[in-house]
Amino acid sequence: MTAVADRSLGPELARTVDIGADTDVLVVGIVTTDDGPAIVPGPALAGETDFEDVLSADARAVLESQLRAVGAKGKGEELTRLPGPTGLGASSVLAVGLGAPDAVDAEQIRRSAGAAGRALSGTGLAVSTLSGLDLGAAAEGFYLGAYTFTEFKSGKSAPKPAEQPLRRVELLVPDPAFGEEDLFRAQAIAEAVATARDFVNTPPSHLFPAEFADRARSLAEAAGLEVEVLDENELAAQGFGGILGVGKGSSRPPRLVRISYSGGAENPRVALIGKGITFDTGGISIKPAANMDHMTSDMAGAAAVVATVLLAARLNLPLSVIATVPMAENMPSDTAQRPGDVLTQYGGTTVEVLNTDAEGRLILADAIVRASQDDPGYLIDVATLTGAQMVALGTRTPGVMGTDEFRDRVARISQGVGENAWPMPLPAELRGDLNSSIADLANVAPHRWGGMLSAGLFLKEFVPADVQWAHLDVAGPAYNTGGAFGYIGKGGTGVPVRTLIAVLEDIAGR
């Protein structure tokens, strides 16, 4: 078994007060001004410190005039490489655009650092002044931008030295003690995002329910957390009809993983639930061939909640988090469930399965009922649930549904960390379309209008009325099928790990 924890997930991050002798690149931020690009922190945008002893006023002036000469503007994520001026200590300088000075926020810093991190493949040591604007955001951006997934690149296709990810980033700080906690938190968060990305990027040939459960278990046990894994026999004995129904078409049987972190019995309890379909063919209601490979990402919700419960423990948050993670492979076969079958969810609700491709809600319903037995104050489920999410919001904006107040709180927090979830309604008039003529519920409506909301309404049936609930549909945002941008490369993005941890911190009062 591959231990995900042993892999190097990104560059080593450190604080420094100087440019070391072996520095290859100094990364500086630049903003657009009427007089051309200006290096920041500096007169155009003040920060914690402008590191004048490292980057002298003379060196700045030289760099700014060279930037003007080569046509640099300072637009967001624009990259300009220059030779290091004499006396600087770094052989080259990478200027990364931050856009207009009045629009520079943590997310812009993260994105620009991410673009720099991506561009610095083949670099041993980079030092950056972006930490003078926001140490944590710069650290997260560099780390996530430099993330690569090369486990299956062998022989001739293995990364050449010039393509190796950036190995070490030193972030300049005003004194050696500055920002220790900020960097620890940023690194922990970035590593959790990378863990989620690794899970998503691991192909379905190698990550099937039992293997996913094993990997989650070993990460959780290494972190000292309590883990329980139910196999197909235990799932059957306890009546998890949704997970079993979805999993029964596959020769690789389903699992239910539970990981508990207790941060004080008197503190709030939060249930996290993540959709773990290791591959979604659609089942008998089979998907078209084009882009079906994207369904390797259908366990991104599970990946995010596993990474988040580990992260909550690492950050020692004063609350309890229990992750409940159903895992199954949705395959067509002679043992698969059929359109028209009726299954009994955990807890007794019967569901007519009119479309076997609406499988996520079936495994989530079981998990929601199980998670509710712990009597959590908050319940957050995360799923690559509907193509309709992308029709409504595009590929980068998660939809968040649930109880009004908590839904809005989660959306606000998500926007604050740059993952940008947007609140969506659960219109009562759509609920009747999920009525079945023979069972308690149908798993799909007889039309496609408001598909994301309809899926949310299905889940709502299983959530206790007194729980603060948020449902995040991340079908598009969890997996980038387009080109790289900011700190996001191709493939798994790690969304919504940063939203989840920020929500947990908010609930914990941090």
66 forms part of the interface with ligand BES (CB under 6 A): no
Element (H, E) at 197: helix 180-201
The total of other beta-carbon atoms located within 10 Å of residue 286's CB is 15
Q: Which does 232 bind (CB under 5 to 8 A by kind): ligand BES, Zn ion, Mn ion, none?
A: none
Angle among Cα 155, 159, 161 to the nearest 5 degrees reads 115
Nearer to ligand BES by Cβ, of 360 and 491: the residue is 360
154 alpha-carbon distance from chain centroid = 27
| Residues in contact with ligand BES, shown as a per-residue x/- string from 379 to 408 under the rule CB under 6 A | -----xxxxx--------------------
Nearer to ligand BES by Cβ, of 24 and 359: the residue is 359
Nearer to ligand BES by Cβ, of 357 and 419: the residue is 357
Nearer to Zn ion by Cβ, of 41 and 360: the residue is 360
337 forms part of the interface with ligand BES (CB under 6 A): no
339 forms part of the interface with ligand BES (CB under 6 A): no
* β strands within 201-293, DSSP E: 226-230, 255-261, 269-274, 276-280
Q: Rounded to whole angstroms, how far apart are CA atoms 356 and 342?
A: 11
Task: Tell me which of 107, 357, 381, 419 binds Mn ion, using CB under 5 A.
Answer: 357
Q: Which does 388 bind (CB under 5 to 8 A by kind): Mn ion, Zn ion, ligand BES, none?
A: ligand BES
DSSP code at position 62:
H
Which token pair is 38? 């200006």
Nearer to Zn ion by Cβ, of 95 and 364: the residue is 364
Q: Rounded to whole angstroms, how far apart are CA atoms 493 and 294?
A: 13
Nearer to ligand BES by Cβ, of 87 and 446: the residue is 446
Nearer to Mn ion by Cβ, of 44 and 434: the residue is 434
Task: Tell me which of 357, 366, 381, 419 binds ligand BES, using CB under 6 A.
Answer: 357
360 forms part of the interface with Zn ion (CB under 5 A): yes
Task: Tell me which of 78, 182, 280, 329 binds Mn ion, using CB under 5 A.
Answer: 280
Stretch that binds Zn ion, among 25-33, 193-201, 291-299, 492-500 (CB under 5 A): 291-299
Residue with tokens 């329980």: 228
| Residues in contact with ligand BES, shown as a per-residue x/- string from 243 to 282 under the rule CB under 6 A | -------------------------------------x--
Which token pair is 179? 């920002």
> Which of 75, 287, 396, 431 is flagged as catalytic?
287
Task: Tell me which of 24, 134, 280, 352 binds Zn ion, using CB under 5 A.
Answer: 280
In the bound complex, which residue of the shown chain has the CB atom lying closest to Mn ion?
357
Residue 225 CB, nearest approach to Zn ion (Å): 27
Residue 304 CB, nearest approach to ligand BES (Å): 14
Q: Show the 3-state SS of 436-502.
A: CCCCCEECCCCCCCCHHHHHHHHHHCCCCCCCEEEEEECCCCCEECCCCECCECCEECCCCHHHHHH
Spell out the residues 6+ positions from residue 202 whose beta carbon is closer than 8 angstroms to its own. 151
In the bound complex, which residue of the shown chain has the CB atom lying closest to Zn ion?
280
Residue 133 CB, nearest approach to ligand BES (Å): 35
499 alpha-carbon distance from chain centroid = 8
Q: Is 448 left (phi over 0), alpha (psi -120 to 50) or beta?
A: alpha
Residue 479 CB, nearest approach to ligand BES (Å): 7
Q: Which does 304 bind (CB under 5 to 8 A by kind): Zn ion, Mn ion, ligand BES, none?
A: none
Quick one: which of 204, 213, 198, 300 has its CA closest to 259? Answer: 213
Q: Which does 419 bind (CB under 5 to 8 A by kind): ligand BES, Zn ion, Mn ion, none?
A: none
Q: Rounded to whole angstroms, how far apart are CA atoms 221 and 31?
A: 46
Residue 388, SS3?
helix
Cis previous bond, 318, omega within 30: no
Let me know if 287 is a catalytic residue: yes
Stretch that binds ligand BES, among 108-116, 117-125, 177-185, 350-358 (CB under 6 A): 350-358
φ, ψ (nearest 5 deg) of residue 471: -115, 120
444 forms part of the interface with ligand BES (CB under 6 A): yes
Task: Tell me which of 77, 198, 298, 419 binds Zn ion, using CB under 5 A.
Answer: 298
Binding residues: 275, 280, 298, 357, 359
Q: Which does 451 bind (CB under 5 to 8 A by kind): Zn ion, Mn ion, ligand BES, none?
A: ligand BES
Which token pair is 251? 């020769």
Task: Tell me which of 30, 413, 475, 504 binds ligand BES, using CB under 6 A.
Answer: 475
Nearer to Zn ion by Cβ, of 15 and 252: the residue is 252
DSSP code at position 399:
E
Quick one: which of 485, 497, 472, 490 has its CA closest to 421? Answer: 472
Residue 445 CB, nearest approach to Mn ion (Å): 15
Q: Show the 3-state SS of 95-122.
A: EEECCCHHHCCHHHHHHHHHHHHHHCCC
φ, ψ (nearest 5 deg) of residue 392: -75, -40
List residues binding Zn ion (CB under 5 A).
Answer: 277, 280, 298, 360
Judged by the rule CB under 5 A, the positions of this chain that interact with Mn ion are 280, 357, 359
Q: Could you list the active site residues? A: 287, 361
Residues at the interface with ligand BES (CB under 6 A): 280, 294, 298, 355, 357-360, 384-388, 444, 451, 475
